Amino acid sequence: MPHYYFLSEIIKAFIFLIFFFIGAISSPYKPKPTSIDVWPKPRTVSWSQPQAHLLSPTFSIATPSHHYLRAAANRYRAQILTEHHQQLVPPSVVLINVSATPLQALNIDVADLTAPLHHGVDESYNLSIPASGSVARLTARTAWGAMRGLESFSQLVWGSPSVVAVGISLSDSPLFGHRGLMLDTSRNYFPVKDILRTISAMSANKLNVFHWHITDSHSFPLMVPSEPDLADKGSYGSDMQYSPDDVTRIVEFGLQHGVRVMPEIDAPAHTGSWAQAYPDIVTCANMFWWPAGAPWEDRLAAEPGTGQLNPLNPKTYKVVKNIINDIIKLFPEPYYHGGADEIIPNCWKLDPTIQSMLSNGGTLSQVLEIFVNSTLPYITSLNRTVVYWEDILLDETIKVDPKFLPPENIILQTWRNGHNNTKQIVSAGYRTIVSSSEFYYLDCGHGDFTGNNSIYNIQTGTTGDGGSWCNPFKTWQTIYNYDILYGLSKEESKLVLGGEVALWSEQADQTVLDSRIWPRASALAEVLWSGNRDEKTGIKRSAEATDRLNEWRSRMVSRGVGAEPIQPLWCVRNPGMCNTAN
């Protein structure tokens, strides 16, 4: 590299130093209290003398031989050298003598390079950046923990030319092993590039599970090799399908970013789109969901888009097992999400074979049990753990006897009644993933998508629940303050694997994807990684978190993520002034 390049960097460094001190003296904004702007907040930070130093323009990252970690290191090195993030409020740090040797390298050591990206993998890491010396050190038990440390290191670099926090050490690990985001790609289609951007942002937030709700009654966008008619006839069109190559690309991208991709093929309800290819195995398909004048109990679906698989038709299982086989081949993830939520009684009651069973003393719960007993053992025989929505155990009308739901083979995802349903699930001995709609549903508060809704036919300036069944909008504070272990014993708490925020897509597509998710999902990310309380005082740190989240949102935007703002810029530049004292 030419010598004049290094000379220009030295000149830039001196200029930066001058403006660094001038800015500190003349800035019209209140100085930001010394803090570490890393999101999610690390578990343990030691930075007794807040200092920063120049980062070498030839900075390098040395990593052991691991396919995904090496790719991550190369990606982070490029980002660190080119990002030059300008903080909204520069931190109050001492810049080490610019003539000293800049930080030259980050060396990574990993104890176990064979650990797969499965639930429970060790994601801990230790990061040390010395105040004197040219090499930082990152150690981790696994490659996936090293990726988390790389992200933290990247957030400790800012400015142009780049400076890095020094004299600092982090000892970090997550509170929960399952930290996820669910995206529904059936009601509206999301291009692959948008899914990849979402996974990248998840990784930056140390979220590790992309729960892909691929299919539903509205469309079947997944091209299943053994059942091609499902996507050919059930998708919104050939340009709104996910090919096997698309899936491979998404899964591989997830591994490169330390994010598992968990597929969900919801059944036996939410399967109206299957009827385009196989009308004989779907009951009440393509019917009006809630006939005029009928009570809510007589609806045929929870929302427009009717259709449920018929568990009494043998052909159902031929199609279902073909799908399962192909999903297993496409997704290496050990968890298979089978859905099993919101089965509507009247839809099944319209089928003659089910009517016959009911007239002979059978029940709709037995119909569901037939489906579970015909599919659950098959999925587990393929070395998969099955995740179901909580309805399969807790629904008031149609549910499965626990004797058919072995806790060692299944996980239940809770979405209703907050702490109450979480408590019911774990007290029955089941592992759970928490997605309480009252706190974690990102689609709430945007009204309702049905037309001619009488709730809007008012003149009083209020629309009651706003037409949104899970109103109101879930703010980042709502998410941040939710305790998924509330009311649980120590033993029950061990069964809570973690949580997920969920974006159902009735009123979302790629045009609003980023703003619907970020930075609200960042709030979940921190709570599940390091909690929402100061470890020393036990006091909730939502005020301190606000300042860091403003900075983190700004950095996400600079990285190409359209995260929405959480405060006016005035608040950002006057730290603490927009908090309350009560």
**What positions carry a catalytic annotation?**
342
**What number of residues does the chain have?**
582
CA dihedral (234, 240, 241, 243) in degrees, to 10, reads 160
Q: Is residue 56 within 8 Å of 163, Cβ to Cβ?
A: no
Place of tokens 């899936």: 247
The rounded distance, in Å, linking the Cα atoms of 305 and 292 is 16
The string of DSSP codes covering 292-350 is: TT--GGG-SSSSS---EE-TT-HHHHHHHHHHHHHHHHH---SEEEEE-----HHHHHT
Largest CA distance in the chain: 90
Query: Is there a contact between 499 and 524 (Cβ–Cβ < 8 Å)?
Result: yes
Rounded CA separation 340/149 (Å): 37
The DSSP symbol for 455 reads: G
24 contacts: CB under 8 Å, gap ≥ 6: 31, 90, 92
| 3-state secondary structure (DSSP) of residue 506 | coil
**52's tokens:** 């920063």
- Are 387 and 434 in contact, with CB atoms under 8 Å apart? no
Give φ, ψ of 404 to 5 degrees. -95, 5
Burial of 383 per CB tally in 10 Å (0-12, 13-18, 19+): exposed
Give the C-alpha separation, 455 to 369, whole Å.
38
CA distance 54 to 461: 56
The helix, strand and coil proportions of the chain, stated in percent and rounded to the nearest 5, come to 35, 20, 45
Structure tokens at 448: 């309702």
- In angstroms, the CA 353 to CA 573 distance is 67
Q: How many CB atoms lie within 10 A of CB 27?
A: 12
CA dihedral 74→79→82→87, nearest 10 degrees, is -150
| Two tokens, residue 247 | 């899936």
Contacts of residue 356, defined as CB under 8 A and 6 or more positions apart, other chains included, come to none
The answer for residues whose C-beta is within 8 angstroms of residue 117's C-beta and 6 or more apart is 144, 208, 255, 258, 260
Tokens 């038990």 belong to residue: 141
Q: How many helices (H) and strands (E) does the chain have?
A: 19, 19
| Burial zone of 120 (CB within 10 Å; 0-12 exposed, 13-18 middle, 19+ buried) | exposed
**Helix, strand, or coil here: 163?**
strand
